[in-house]
Amino acid sequence: MATDDPIRASDADREAVVATLREAYTAGRLTLDEFDERVTTAYAGKTWGDLRKLTIDLPSQPILGSDVPGRQLPPTTVLPSHPARPGPRPDEVQGLQPPPPPRHRPRPLVILVPVAVWVLLVAHGIVGPGAVFLLIAVFALTSILSGIRRR
């Protein structure tokens, strides 16, 4: 039993315990019912001893009294909750090349559709042969704008 168990807990102490409980719940160490029960008890806790009982069975312990001026806090060792994934070895990195840039696919419809429309309109006498430039400009602009929206 710690000798400082009867010290009155502050709001910061309660929040530290709740944060530890939240981490334990997120890691799957506590069920939802246990988490709710312990959080309720933490907010009702009056002393450091009351708060310590809530996390005694968890691997990570909150630091109580961090808001007390002049208090010498023990050094903390932070353990990763998940092992770090090893990066590639230097010999593997040398063989890697960046992926090639995406190739721009030619769009035959951009050319074929206006030409087909122009041929039909000229064949039926609706427009003159010079209207092809206007149609190509409209379809090219539509193609450019649709390409901008896809990026």
* C-alpha span between 36 and 23 (Å, rounded): 13
Both tokens of 123, joined, read: 């064949």
pTM assigned to the model: 0.47
| 16, 68 Cβ separation under 8 angstroms | no
Q: What is the DSSP letter of 24?
A: H
Could you read off the pLDDT tens digit of each residue along the chain, which spans 151 residues?
Answer: 467 788 888 898 899 999 999 999 999 999 999 999 999 999 999 998 999 999 999 988 887 777 776 665 555 544 455 455 555 555 555 555 666 666 666 666 666 776 777 778 778 887 776 766 776 777 777 777 776 655 5
List the beta bridge partners of residue 14.
none
